[in-house]
Amino acid sequence: MKNRQQGKISLVILLSIISVFIVGCWDSRELSTLSLIAGLGFDLDPATKRATLTYQSIVPSQVKPSPSMGGGEGKQTGSGGLQSIQLDHDTGLSPYEVLNRYTQHGSRIPFYQHTQVIVIGKAAAEHGLYPFLDTVIRNPAGRPNILLAISDNKASDILAVEDGMENIQAVGMANIIKLSARFSKYPAVTCLDFTSRFIGKTTAPVAPIMGVFEETGPEGKRQKKIRINGTAVFKGDKMIGKLNEQESSGLLWVINQIEKGFVIIPEASLEIIGSKTKIIPELTGGKIKITVEIEEEANLIQYNNARNITPDLIHQLEKAQAREIESQVKAVIKKSMALNADIFDFGGAVHRKYKKEWKKMEPRWDDIYPTIEVSVKVKTRLDEIGDINKAIMTE
């Protein structure tokens, strides 16, 4: 009797699972009718103000496994040398018009659920992202968590480069952005992140900048590569400046987005294993003071000295590491003040603590921000030094 009841329960569960899968397929579309858009690029002609949209589409029948999956040589080609991606371009008076033109010449319906990255050309970024961003965010077929990047030239140039271990370039670009953020070099920013900062009025949006570089390959041939080479700073929707690598890392320290990575000092290299940042605003006599408190933990992974590692030396390494972090943070604060762009959301911190006073400060935040006094306090702790505490190198 007990076994029969268990059998009935199992049957009910199985039927429930099958029904979910059946219902979930009611709106399915054949792959052969879709154009899978892996990457999008927006460019603007400053003279004519005409927008150009570049589509990087996947050719499913030609995609081979990437080297990380045990196949291929990292090129965007399939069997017989056929391309695993296809580039299409359209030009029009507005991004929305261009986006709709794809269906006029394409044989497939554009499908954006697999879009990895949207690249904005430099001219478009400096003119203003709002028309491009509004078109993407309001597109019901799109996703707000698509990664956003700025090209240091044209977006179409970035999407045309065959680089990386992935067969599909947009996938490789997305991985570059994610890995850079994971190791605390440059921020990873989605369309939703950018839009949230833009809507916030006082917080300046940022996005990684990607460029095309040439280097000599293993056989002596010149080949193009894509690299992140900065962080774009915006005022509203217009790009107004750029952070270098040190300043970009400083930004991540302040906004509490340090995951992993390394801090390099003259005596040693240290691996970051944990970090926490607090932004503490104080309002005194009508003036704002911000204190940035950073607590960090690290492991020693390389030691370039002949001294044995003693508690006193560990303390010195911790202080040297704190000075390097402080230097990165102060560098980005200085650049932010020069651009008059609150990339740290200091305004949000003031708003949360001083809600009543913020109502009067918000309209004048552009005038207030450059006058803020910012104090940086860094506390570091060295956890592991390895299996030995003696120096391998001797004087």
For 23-59, the pLDDT digits (tens) are 444 345 576 778 788 999 999 998 998 999 999 988 7
Least confident of 107-111, 200-204, 313-317: 107-111
Q: Is the pLDDT of residue 310 over 50?
A: yes
**Residue 24 falls within a domain, yes or no?**
no
What is residue 72's predicted lDDT score, i.e. its pLDDT?
Answer: 36
Domain boundary among 243, 262, 292: 243
**Residue 18 falls within a domain, yes or no?**
no
What is residue 392's predicted lDDT score, i.e. its pLDDT?
Answer: 53
Residues 85 and 221 in one domain: yes
**Residue 21 falls within a domain, yes or no?**
no
**Residue 122 falls within a domain, yes or no?**
yes
Q: State the residue range of the domain holding 165.
A: 29-243
Reduced to 3 states (helix: H, G, I; strand: E, B; else coil), residue 242 is strand
Whole-number Å distance between alpha carbons of 297 and 313: 16
122: left (phi over 0), alpha (psi -120 to 50) or beta: alpha
**Residue 252 falls within a domain, yes or no?**
yes
Tell me the HSE value of 178 on the side-chain side, using a 13 A CA sphere. 11
Residues 210-238 as b or e (16 or more Cβ within 10 Å = b): bbbeeeeeeeeeeeeebebbbbbbbeebe
Q: Is the pLDDT of residue 282 over 80?
A: yes
Whole-number Å distance between alpha carbons of 375 and 214: 41
Count: domains in the chain: 2
Question: For residue 394, what pLDDT band results from cuts at 50, 70 and 90?
Answer: low
Least confident of 25-39, 133-147, 322-336: 25-39
Whole-number Å distance between alpha carbons of 351 and 87: 46
**Residue 69 falls within a domain, yes or no?**
yes
**Residue 23 falls within a domain, yes or no?**
no
Q: Is the pLDDT of residue 18 over 50?
A: no
Percentage of the chain lying above the pLDDT 90 cut: 55
**β 34-44/109-111 pair status:** parallel
Residues 283 and 301 in one domain: yes
Residues 220 and 267 in one domain: no
pLDDT in tens, 172-231: 999 999 999 999 999 999 999 999 999 888 899 999 999 998 887 777 778 888 999 999
What is residue 14's predicted lDDT score, i.e. its pLDDT?
Answer: 43
Name residues whose C-beta falls within 8 Å of residue 300's C-beta, 6 or more positions apart in sequence. Answer: 268, 269, 270, 271, 309, 317, 382, 384, 385, 386
- Residue for token pair 């069997």: 79
Name residues whose C-beta falls within 8 Å of residue 144's C-beta, 6 or more positions apart in sequence. Answer: 137, 190, 191, 192, 195
Whole-number Å distance between alpha carbons of 276 and 302: 24
Question: For residue 64, what pLDDT band results from cuts at 50, 70 and 90?
Answer: low
Residues 155 and 250 in one domain: no
Residues 189 and 263 in one domain: no
Residues 209 and 284 in one domain: no
What is residue 112's predicted lDDT score, i.e. its pLDDT?
Answer: 82
Name residues whose C-beta falls within 8 Å of residue 81's C-beta, 6 or more positions apart in sequence. Answer: none
Residues 336 and 387 in one domain: yes
Whole-number Å distance between alpha carbons of 134 and 146: 14
Residues 79 and 224 in one domain: yes
Per-chain mean pLDDT for the chain? 83
Q: Residue 6 corresponds to which amino acid?
A: Q
